[in-house]
Amino acid sequence: MAKWQIFRNFIGENQSVMNKIKPLDQVSSTDASALNHTAKIQNKFECEGSILDRLMYFAASVPDFRRTSKGNIRHRLKDIIMLMIFARASKCVGRAEIIEFGKHNLNKLRRIGMLKNGVPSEPTLCRIENGIDDLNMADRMREFARKYQRDLLEECGIGEIICIDGKAECGTVLANGRNPDIVSAYSPATGIILATEACQEKSNEIKAVPRLLSKIELTGKIVTADAMSMQKDIIDTIRRGRGDFLIELKANQRALRYGVEDSIKALTPVYSYTVGPELGHGRIETRTYRVYDGLEIIADKQKWGGKWGGNMTIVEYEADTIRKSTGEHTSEKRLYVSSLPTTTKVMGHFVRSHWSIESMHWGLDVNLSQDGIKRKYPRAARNLDTIQRIVFSVFSIWKGLRKKRADKKKGVARLMRYVSMNFTRLLHFLRQNCKN
């Protein structure tokens, strides 16, 4: 009897201590009188500074357009935004698939404090997409990207190139028969989409690019763009931001293009170098770069120097390509204008880096089916585009923060296949790489 009495006293003392200490995986609980009529245990899985934490902060920062003080608001806006992000990362395309994803993973979503009143209906998702202020949501995406941009650049140890280009939203058609055009600022070193700007209904990229550049930090950066951006307003915006540029030169600047093309035939470049031959994508390519001093090429120095705001360097890019399967030989020449000094030794790197934004646009179409999703209204298309670009950036951020080279080489398609297998994998994927 004495032994049993000692054992009971020991259990009683430890039970009182255990009652005062909560398990590590239990933060709070709700009884059956809660709105969702289920007893929940919220798992404390988030680590401070994780990708999931910052996604949650992004979703909570989007202004709610609804009258939250009146009416029957059953679903929090941040829960709906996070549901769309989770579903899009798991290869769900339409609203019906997003709802099915939410129903299938409802218990797990409730464990992290989401969707207390169940999954929103398809009309609710439609109203949310059309109601959110697309400009505010795009600005919040810019804030989300900026938090990771500096960290990843520090790990890369290189300067930043910013690629500018536009992409038409083929799934939406405006009243004038055109597709809405969204211009992006993309960082190829980090794989992050830094900011976006939508072209107005009766406008084009020429007017949207200066607005986009005003949203990002340009000091010490190199902006690359296609020939459409060879405009005085765009060049002046980059120079005022203390940045440099490298822009392709085509016939939209007719006098400058043909004047440069005729002049370089009789001149010797400041320096030139050749890269290759290289085998890739079924072809053998040899690239030659020739760098010229712009003041020696432009005939009317005073006129052009005054228009473009300073000296310019001319880069001639020549590519000789042999198709491996057929042996067909092709040659191509391109001209680029830059504010970088002629002593810059990596002009070819800047020229080649601009094509990375085309790869990003291709990835949005192939991996996230951007062009295949139809939206009736431009605001809904813009909000959907913001969600898709955040999902694309998340995979690039994950690769940038990883230490293993094998993880850094994984493509977006492979990572999406991995996280789409189950919701637990997705959560584990997003809560890695904590940075305090």
Instruction: Give the per-residue pLDDT at 110.
Output: 92
Is 309 or 240 the better-scoring residue by pLDDT?
A: 240
In this predicted structure, the answer to whether residue 211 has a pLDDT above a threshold of 80 is: yes
Instruction: Give the per-residue pLDDT at 310.
Output: 66
The whole-angstrom distance between residue 183's C-alpha and the CA centroid of its chain comes to 12
**372-416 pLDDT tens trace:** 888 888 888 889 999 999 999 999 888 888 888 888 888 888 999
334, containing H or E segment: strand 329-338
- Residues near 412 by beta carbon (within 8 Å), at least 6 away in sequence: 363, 367, 392, 395, 396
In this predicted structure, the answer to whether residue 17 has a pLDDT above a threshold of 70 is: no
pLDDT tier at 41, thresholds 50, 70, 90: very low
pLDDT tier at 10, thresholds 50, 70, 90: very low
**240-297 pLDDT tens trace:** 888 889 988 887 888 888 888 888 888 888 888 888 788 877 788 888 888 888 776 7
pLDDT tier at 45, thresholds 50, 70, 90: very low
Q: How far apart are CA 183 and CA 197, in angstroms?
A: 5
In this predicted structure, the answer to whether residue 112 has a pLDDT above a threshold of 80 is: yes
Instruction: Give the per-residue pLDDT at 431.
Output: 85
Q: How far apart are CA 124 and CA 423, in angstroms?
A: 23
Instruction: Give the per-residue pLDDT at 395.
Output: 92
Transcribe 131-151 into DSSP letters. Answer: HS-HHHHHHHHHHHHHHHHHH
Percent of the chain with pLDDT over 70: 82
Percent of the chain with pLDDT over 90: 23
Minimum mean pLDDT among 40-44, 87-91, 197-201, 328-332: which range? Answer: 40-44
Minimum mean pLDDT among 12-26, 195-209, 306-320, 340-354: which range? Answer: 12-26
Q: How far apart are CA 386 and CA 393, in angstroms?
A: 10
Average pLDDT score over residue span 157-179: 79
Instruction: Give the per-residue pLDDT at 48.
Output: 52
pLDDT tier at 61, thresholds 50, 70, 90: very high
Q: How far apart are CA 236 and CA 217, in angstroms?
A: 15
In this predicted structure, the answer to whether residue 323 has a pLDDT above a threshold of 70 is: yes
Transcribe 367-426 into DSSP letters. Answer: HH-TTT---SSHHHHHHHHHHHHHHHHHHHHHHHH---HHHHT--HHHHHHHHTS-HHHH
Instruction: Give the per-residue pLDDT at 202.
Output: 58
Q: Which tokens belong to 368?
A: 């996230």
Instruction: Give the per-residue pLDDT at 258.
Output: 83
Minimum mean pLDDT among 1-5, 64-68, 81-85: which range? Answer: 1-5
Q: How far apart are CA 167 and CA 244, in angstroms?
A: 23
Is 9 or 274 the better-scoring residue by pLDDT?
A: 274
Instruction: Give the per-residue pLDDT at 15.
Output: 46
Q: What is the bridge-based pairing of β-strands 222-225 and 244-249? A: parallel
